[in-house]
Amino acid sequence: MARTQSLPNVVITLIVALGALAAPVRAETQVYTYAVEHPTFGRIGTYTNVIERSGDRTHVSSVLHTAVRILGFVVYSQDAKRSEEWRRGRLISFRSVTTTDGKSLDVTGVARGNTFVITTPAGTTVAPADVRPSNPWTPAILKAHVMMSTKTGLIEDVQVTGGDETAATFDDTTRMLHRYLIDGHKRGVVWLDNHGVPIAFKVWEQGTPIELVLISPAVPLAQTAMAPR
């Protein structure tokens, strides 16, 4: 005759099972800090991405600080704080405050149904649900067909090409990296290592190429390839 489990053992088994279900999902955090390099004035600031992942959610906080000085005087400055909230590979919300020479520009965005609604001082824009911010913190950004400027909130159609491994030199160090070209209203270049870590990227600001080069350890996230849905 089959033996039945005693009541105390049943209770213990139930408690263990509930405890396993209630256990918090382990969060993972990675910090990528970049030096901002100007072709004429050299290093003019830093840009940092703090990526926090827990389960199917990812939060990205970005901080930019730049200043151009001539004879000790600041002739140009730009600071920004930005926040991205992702869930299952989709951008759920976005907030950006960029201050350039004392003038601030606020941009917000929120997912609504099959769209992403962006609000700027110029008005409201409805973008596709799979829009990607122009912040290459993950290789998934390079799958974008529509990209949103993290500074202005403007959207544009883009085409991403490349990916072949090529020799690249940053801070007098040459290494083999995967190089991607982003073609749109504004051009961009992104270099990734074999683990998907963005080692450097280049943007053009009013025709001037600005390079951002990783200066913190290139430690990849456990699941670095966040596939868009």
φ, ψ at 143 (rounded to 5°): -95, 5
pTM of the entire structure? 0.84
pLDDT at 97 over 60: yes
Query: pLDDT tens across 72-82, in order?
Result: 899 999 999 99
pLDDT at 212 over 90: yes
Most confident of 21-25, 28-32, 220-224: 28-32
Cβ atoms within 10 Å of 121's Cβ, excluding its own: 10
Report how far apart, in Å, the C-alpha atoms of 53 and of each of 84, 135, 202 are: 12, 16, 26
C-alpha triplet 218, 131, 148: angle, nearest 5°: 75
Distance CA 116, CA 128 (A): 6
Distance CA 63, CA 71 (A): 26
Is 13 strand, coil or helix?
Answer: helix
* CB contact at 8 A, 34 and 64: no
Distance CA 218, CA 21 (A): 34
Look up residue 186 and give its DSSP letter: S
What are the structure tokens assigned to 59, written together? 């939060």
Query: What local confidence, expressed as pLDDT, does residue 30 receive?
Result: 95
Query: What local confidence, expressed as pLDDT, does residue 6 receive?
Result: 53
Query: pLDDT tens across 98-107, in order?
Result: 999 999 999 9
Is 1 strand, coil or helix?
Answer: coil
Distance CA 156, CA 79 (A): 23
Query: pLDDT tens across 109-145, in order?
Result: 999 999 999 999 999 999 999 999 999 999 999 999 9
pLDDT at 228 over 50: no
* CB contact at 8 A, 33 and 20: no
79, with CB counted inside 10 A (0-12, 13-18, 19+), is middle
